Structure 1
Amino acid sequence: MTHDHDLVLRPTAAQTEAALNPPAGRIGGDLVMETLRGLGATTVFGLPGQHALGMFDALRRSDLRYVGLRVENNAGFAADAYGRITGEAAPLLLSAGPGALTALAALQEAAAASAPVLAIGAQVPVAGLGGGRHGHLHELRDQQASFRDIVKSVHVVRTASQIPSAIAAAWKSALTAPHGPVWVEIPQDVLNAPTALPVVTAVDATPEELPPRPELTALAAHLLSNAERPAIIAGGGVVRADASGKLRALAQRLDAPVVTTFGGKGAFPWTHPLSLQSWLEDRHTTDFLEDADVLLVVGSGLGELSSNYHTFAPRGRVIQIEADLGKLESNHPALGIHADARLALSALLETVEERHDPTAPERVRALLGRVRARLDAQDLAREQQVLAAVRAALPDDSPAFWDMTILSYWAWSAFDARRPNTMHSAQGAGGLGYAYPAALGAAVADPTRPALAVSGDGGALYSIAELATARQHDLPVTWLIVDDGGYGILREYMTDTFGEATGTELTRPDFVALAESFGVPAARTTPETLRTDLEAALATPGPSVVVLQAVLRMFAPTHT
């Protein structure tokens, strides 16, 4: 009888010879690069620093592509987008202390959005760990503690032989549903020390699957099949699991209207007769969802934005499919199914019975008509004109990345993401400066399609240094900067709440001249010429900037 643990592959003679005679001149940093290559990585992001130089020296000897950004946080945003676009874990190389800490906001966004980022950070030498007694540059008493509350898992290395296993475990963690950022920490002297360990070859770090429990999907299928007014909320988990096709098949089998969350944009066709689109910040939509007798929530924790600022109070039975155990039933009681969205939807499709409801498309049309009438009554033609121009100019399969700016808030509700995984924003954690470096990461992942970044002038100043990165790597990213003279959304919030805004007005550069100083072509536009100017910029190889000077307004709050 043979047991699985007895099936050990024996090395070939050539493999044994290679293990006995590793190449000369290797250091601990080489083990990092070899492990990444063995896991299938092709590209790394980051920024060099004193304690991380062993990794960067080894990078010179590897065939990994290095994309260096100018600020660690921006490197983290680029890695985040690379992970979202490819579905692979994106390596992010960081130094110790300030360099590592500067990336924390990006890792928070990756955690909120379930983006697989493999952050590998340096540390002070082993002898200096734990207490600050050695006074090393960049030293923190407990660096990993700064990351533990943000990342999915922490993996600490103290010897060279631990490097491959730690990185492999982190890789597996990052890509096991729910995806997320992970932290690997390696001391400077371990990275720099010569090593005679064999070259790392193929590394097994297969992510674990997260299938649903069959008794739960059987009950869910029964509830949905017998519902009178079923509805579906599709979140970002549907996009990440590549399950939009299965979602559409289930909705059509049930004649169930579907609304996509802001993180789930593109999970369901915008113009489908069952599409409620994404008007979650609208009381009409909230009322519609509350009226469902069975509400299926897939890949969403029903957080602040998805619940219309926690005003949503479902009256029917809720079924929640969620890969993140911490989000399961965290906001509403439900039949909680802890599972990957794709596997759970597949299970439902196998057992759910077909139901017909000829009234569903009409109810959807009526709801969207009420939403349209509310907007039409608010004198927001310019805002809708600008968003329509962006949609018309952007190729359907091009990814767009949106910063925390008024036009992005509009896009969450009103933008038709015509393909899954093409609309991404910083709405997970809400940090400024996300859009442009994220778009650069997407262009690295797929340079065959132009990418779009949308920022306000305030958010743009967080990322302006990355024009140099775009030019250095000749990345096809068009950056639309909506210049309204300050932090526009904060100006609105403060004025609405306190009657006056404080600290929101900004002195800005001439963005066109500044972009051109980096060698990046730039143009000024107007709402009337935006579509033409944006189309031209997107069609031009390499990076470009389009500046729109306009003060846009938000639609009225509708959660009361």
Structure 2
Amino acid sequence: MTHDHHGPELLPTAAQTEAALNPPPGRNGGDLVVETLQSLGATTVFGLPGQHALGMFDALRRSDLRYVGLRVENNAGFAADAYGRVTGEAAPLLLSTGPGALTSLAALQEAAAASAPVLAISSQIPVAGLGGGRHGYLHELRDQKAAFRDVVKSVHTVRTASQIPSAIARAWQSALTAPHGPVWVEIPQDVLLAETPIPVVTGLDATPDEVFPRPELTAVAADLLSRAERPVIIAGGGVVRSDASGKLRALAEKLDAPVVTTFGGKGAFPWDHELSLQSWLEDRHTTDFLEDADVLLVVGSGLGELSSNYHTFRPRGRVVQIEADLGKLESNHPALGIHADARLALGALLETVRERGDTGAAERVRGVLGAVRERIAGQELDLEQSLLTTIRAALPDSSPSFWDMTILAYWAWSAFDARRPNTMHSAQGAGGLGYGFPAALGAAAADPSRPVLAVSGDGGAMYSIAELATARQYDLNVTWLIVDDGGYGILREYMTDTFGEATGTELSRPDFVALAESFGVPATLATPDTLGATLTKSFAESGPSVVVLPAVLRMFAPTHL
């Protein structure tokens, strides 16, 4: 009897055998970590050193991996998140035990919500202290991995050196299997430091699992869409993550179906396409149009709070939901749920739906967008709209932008033309402050050939001000726009609208221009009139820069009813 072999080559070559029998002297568990990462294809790692993690960091010195060190673990997590989003690769994040590890939690929550593949590798207390006791080790937690289990996709604990390569490979595979997401590996300090006779790591296979749609489900979905009178498509972040924008456009054109992109799906469909409803999800005109669809195809979105106009959306037709995250299927609305990667499912539908002629969808789209524009125009918000227009005109089409939780970002979710897939990113997944600038640094580390934009308010900027040192140290090509309104602007607006006055929202802040320049980062104080020229100049020059715009902005009034 013979067996076909489809896995990696199992028989070593003579050279491999020779290398395996004579490993370099002085290697330890930390070397196994960096060798495993290199074997899996990693080129860049982010993180912060700490006492228990020194074995990993010393091993970096003996590797070809590029290390980008940030000043706060949470910011290192945001940088890794962005690197994972823009490259589609797993982004290694090296952390120490206890406080260092825990400080990364908010960033890992954002990575989980946005499906960003972050491979967090943390140290642990020595093996003798594992097991839930209280041994008095520095940084000790009773059960460190328990703090992460509710946040990340999978948790992997190592107890011996020989477990390191396989544990990291399993984590890598988990991070890159749809839906992408953060994973957690923890390795005890003594395992990282102990010398090892294990050969140099090669030949690892961590191919992500493909999440294929079931053919009986796509057959039903194709039939529903082909027979629909008013089909509409909602495209979420899953379309961007799976690189399915081309298939989405082809399917929409074949069905003559309007497309609205969620805030996480910005750029998944061309903004100015005649079938594009753009991203005006916080508008009742859009909500009414979606509710009127007799078949609504939702791709790569769970229709959460923001995507459902704060849960006021009530679809009247059939819903078909394609989602790689099994827990999101039918989590908010009854649907024909198809558990699949967006690219694979859209490809199946594209091959099986019947082409429809012109059904007048483009004219109906123009009507909705006209009604939205009329409503916004009646609110006297010219400054906010002109700022977005100015930023869009200055920013190169291929440049990614990263938006913190600030009023201008809330506008951008609905009103900013991303122009290309996977170029506009924000922290709306988990909604934490401080995302924009460190995330932009991660994207600049991934591709130094193009300028990157970060947008923050003054409140959010203070979360990541230390990373000006990182930007300068690595000469990262990021322009950081800080909109200074003297406090937490959106919270000020929420509280004033709800309670009549705001509490805890007014902030003392630094002279951002002088502060940036003290880090050696050039900075400019701009006005709305000079912003365009200032940004254009910043994007044209290499290295980091800061642009400060004093302005008090207002949100447009959303319509839920």
Same-fold call, TM cutoff 0.5: yes
Deviations 1:64-123 (CA, angstroms, capped at 9, x unpaired) = 000000000000000000000000000000000000000000000000000000000000
Question: CA shift at 1:511, angstroms?
Answer: 0.3
1:507 equivalent in structure 2: 508
Partner of 2:260: 259
Counterpart CA distance in 2 for 1:337 and 1:4 is 32
Runs of 4+ residues deviating >2 angstroms:
4-9, 130-133
**1:15 Cα offset (Å):** 1.2
Q: Distance in 2 between matches of 1:65 and 1:52?
A: 17
C-alpha change, 1:469 and 1:6, in structure 2 (3 Å) is closer
* Residue equivalent to 1:173: 174
Q: Could you tell me how far apart the structure 2 residues matched to 1:179 and 1:96 are?
A: 25
1:443 corresponds in structure 2 to: 444
Name the CA distance, whole Å, in 2 between partners of 1:313 and 1:283.
12
Superposition deviation, residue 529 in structure 1: 1.2
SS at match of 2:263: coil
The CA deviation at 1:359 is 1.3
Query: Cα offset for 1:9?
Result: 2.6
- Taking a change above 3 Å as real, the CA distance of residues 6 and 309 of structure 1, as seen in their structure-2 partners, is closer
Corresponding position: 1:395 with 2:396: yes
1:28 aligns with 2:64: no
Provide the C-alpha distance between the structure 1 equivalents of 2:72 and 2:101, rounded to a whole number of angstroms: 11
Match of 1:462 in 2: 463
1:307 is the counterpart of 2:315? no
AA at the equivalent of 1:43: T
Q: Residues of 2 paired with 1:77 and 1:11: CA distance?
A: 40
Whichever residue aligns with residue 494 of structure 1, its letter is M
Aligned to 2:387: 386
Tell me the C-alpha RMSD between the 2 structures: 0.9
Instruction: Give the equivalent residue in structure 2 for 1:375.
Output: 376
Shift of residue 538 of structure 1? 1.1
Deviations 1:272-326 (A, max 9, x none): 0000000000000000000000000000000000000000000000000000000
Structure 1 match to 2:477: 476
- For 2:447 and 2:57, the matched residues in 1 are separated by 24
Within the alignment, does 1:110 sit opposite 2:101 as a pair? no
Deviation of the 1:6 alpha carbon: 9.2
Say whether the 8 Å CA contact 2:134–2:142 is kept in structure 1. no
Residue 356 of structure 1 aligns with an amino acid whose one-letter code is: G
Task: Indicate yes or no: 2:248 matched with 1:247.
Answer: yes
Residue 132 of structure 1, CA deviation: 4.2
Counterpart residue number, 1:128: 129
TM-score (norm 2): 0.99
Map of 1:90 onto structure 2: 91
Report SS of the residue matched to 1:23: coil
What SS does structure 2 have at the residue aligned with 1:353?
A: coil
What per-residue deviation string (whole Å, max 9, x for no partner) do you get for residues 231-286 of structure 1?
00000000011000000000000000000000000000000000000000000000
Say which SS state the counterpart of residue 94 (structure 2) adopts. Answer: strand
Kindly state the Cα deviation for residue 357 of structure 1 after the two structures are TM-superposed. Answer: 3.1
- Mapped to 1, the partners of 2:54 and 2:510 lie a distance apart of 35
Residue aligning to 2:351: 350
- Contact kept in structure 2, 1:281 and 1:308, CA below 8 Å: yes
Once residues 194 and 9 of structure 1 are traced to their aligned partners in structure 2, the CA distance between those partners, rounded to angstroms, is 26
Deviation track 1:367-399 (CA, whole Å, cap 9, x = no partner) reads: 000000000100000110111111111001100
Partner of 1:528: 529
1:323 corresponds in structure 2 to 324
Distance, in Å, in 1 between the alignment partners of 2:3 and 2:402 is 50
1:282 maps to a residue whose letter is D
| Aligned residue number for residue 2 of structure 1 | 2
CA–CA distance in 2 between the matches of 1:12 and 1:552?
A: 65
CA–CA distance in structure 1, aligned partners of residues 234 and 179 of structure 2: 18
Secondary structure at 2:45 match in 1: strand
- Secondary structure at the counterpart of residue 475 of structure 1: coil
Aligned-pair CA distance for 1:442: 0.2
Structure 1, unpaired ranges of 5+: none
Residue 138 of structure 1: aligned partner: 139
Question: 2: distance between equivalents of 1:341 and 1:510?
Answer: 46
How much identity, in percent, do the aligned residues show? 84
Letter in 2 for 1:189: D
1:3 is matched by which residue type in structure 2? H
Deviates more, 1:132-141 or 1:514-523: 132-141
**Residue type matched to 1:37 in 2?**
Q
Q: What letter is aligned with 2:235?
A: A
Deviation at 1:358, TM superposition (A): 3.8
Q: Distance in 1 between matches of 2:132 and 2:82?
A: 36
Q: 1:207 Cα shift?
A: 0.3
Query: Counterparts of 1:361 and 1:244 in 2: how far apart (Å)?
Result: 19
Report the alpha carbon displacement of residue 20 of structure 1 after superposing the two structures with TM.
1.2
Structure 1 counterpart of 2:521, one-letter code: V
Native 8 Å contact 1:154 1:184 kept in 2: yes
Q: Which moved more, 1:530-539 or 1:150-159?
A: 530-539
AA aligned opposite 1:25: G
SS at match of 1:204: coil
Conserved in 2, the CA contact under 8 Å of 1:476 and 1:542? Answer: yes
State the secondary structure of the residue aligned to 1:263: helix
1:334 aligns with 2:335: yes
Q: Does the 8 A contact of 2:49 with 2:95 survive in 1?
A: yes
Task: Give the distance between the partners of 1:278 and 1:6, measured in 2 at CA.
Answer: 45
Q: Which amino acid aligns with 2:322?
A: I
Query: Would the aligned equivalents of 1:45 and 1:67 in 2 still touch at CA under 8 Å?
Result: yes
C-alpha separation between the residues in 2 aligned to 1:392 and 1:360? 29
2:169 partner amino acid: A
Contact 1:132 1:139 in 2 (8 A): no
- Residue 326 of structure 1 aligns to a residue whose secondary structure is helix
Matches within 5 A, 1:157-168: 157-168=158-169
AA at the equivalent of 1:63: D
Q: Which residue of 1 aligns with 2:493?
A: 492
| CA contact 2:513–2:525 (8 Å) conserved in 1 | yes
Tell me which residue corresponds to 1:411.
412
* 5+ long unaligned stretches in structure 2: none
**Equivalent residue number for residue 185 of structure 1:** 186
Residue 202 of structure 1 and its aligned partner are, at CA, apart by 2.4
Secondary structure of 1:453 counterpart: strand
> Does the aligned pair in 2 maintain the 1:32–1:164 contact within 8 Å?
yes
Measured after TM superposition, the shift of residue 129 of structure 1 is 1.4
Distance 1:128 1:492, change over 3 A: same
| Structure 1 residue 4: Cα displacement | 3.8
